[in-house]
Amino acid sequence: MPTIGFIYPDHAAEDDYPLAEGLLGDGTRLAVAHIYGTDLHAVAELLDLGSPQRLTEGAGLLARHEPDAIVWACTSGSFVYGWDGATEQVAGLSAAAGGLPASSTSFAFVHAANALGLRRVAVAASYPDEVAKLFVEFLGKGGIEVVSLSAADIDTAAEVGDLSPEAVVDLIVSHDHPDAEALLVPDTAMRTLAVVERAEERLGKPVLTANQVTVWEGLRLVGANRAVPGVGALFRSGGG
């Protein structure tokens, strides 16, 4: 079975990855390596967090796991570069990993939305407004219209990681929009794997979250997407 490597910034909600590995239950390994920088949701700090030097370090840490693909598991640290910059970021990550297939959480959102045929979405972001708007711009470059944006104005990833499951669900369901085909939640610092189904049941529409789409993207890169119960509409579709 494949091994997928994830570069995860600092510590917050990385336990979503062993949870996902258990839900997959087929021997697929989801290996996580941590890189460290400030966890502040601010543009300059996020540009540093996603820099080539830091991602090269992460690729080196993952090498011992012998991954078949590698994903930068950070939404804000990828979309902050813009579409073209994030494309270069992924290309650099692939090169640092010896030519392995590579991607990032920002592209994972676009690919996942495309897999579900979504074109109009609402975004429930934990970030300050300035940062959240950059995610909207990124989605627009990917052909996805954001009909509603909410920004919770949480300054650090650590604060996001401390949110209770109930608070996460409330953040999601309270920021729906009637014209949205789905709701997107872009922060890998937020624990969401265990609550995606609950949020979807309350909303009656798909919910795409950062760690969810990041795992799905890794599976897509190695051609291993399949239907998996318990992780929302994206995984029920089995698409890739």
Q: Are residues 78 and 145 in the same domain?
A: no
Q: Are residues 225 and 187 in the same domain?
A: no
Per-residue pLDDT band at 152 (split at 50, 70, 90): low
Is the confidence at residue 178, as pLDDT, over 70?
yes
Supply the angle between the helices 16-24 and 210-221 in degrees, to the nearest 10: 50
Q: Give the predicted TM-score (pTM) of the model.
A: 0.94
Give the chain's mean pLDDT.
92
Cα separation, 24 vs 30, whole angstroms: 10
Q: What is the mean pLDDT of residues 119-131?
A: 91
Q: Are residues 144 and 31 in the same domain?
A: no
User: Residue 156's domain spans which residues?
Assistant: 117-208
Say how many domains are in the chain. 2
Is the confidence at residue 237, as pLDDT, over 90?
no
> Quick one: pLDDT at residue 174?
87
Q: Are residues 104 and 8 in the same domain?
A: yes
Q: Are residues 188 and 132 in the same domain?
A: yes
Q: Are residues 92 and 125 in the same domain?
A: no
Q: Are residues 176 and 61 in the same domain?
A: no
**Domain harbouring 32, CATH code:** 3.40.50.12500
Burial 156-185 (b: 16+ CB within 10 A, else e): bbeebbebeeeebbebbbebbbeebbbbbb
Q: Are residues 82 and 141 in the same domain?
A: no
pLDDT in tens, 11-60: 889 999 999 999 999 999 999 999 987 766 788 889 899 999 999 999 99
Cα separation, 80 vs 46, whole angstroms: 7
Q: Are residues 88 and 41 in the same domain?
A: yes
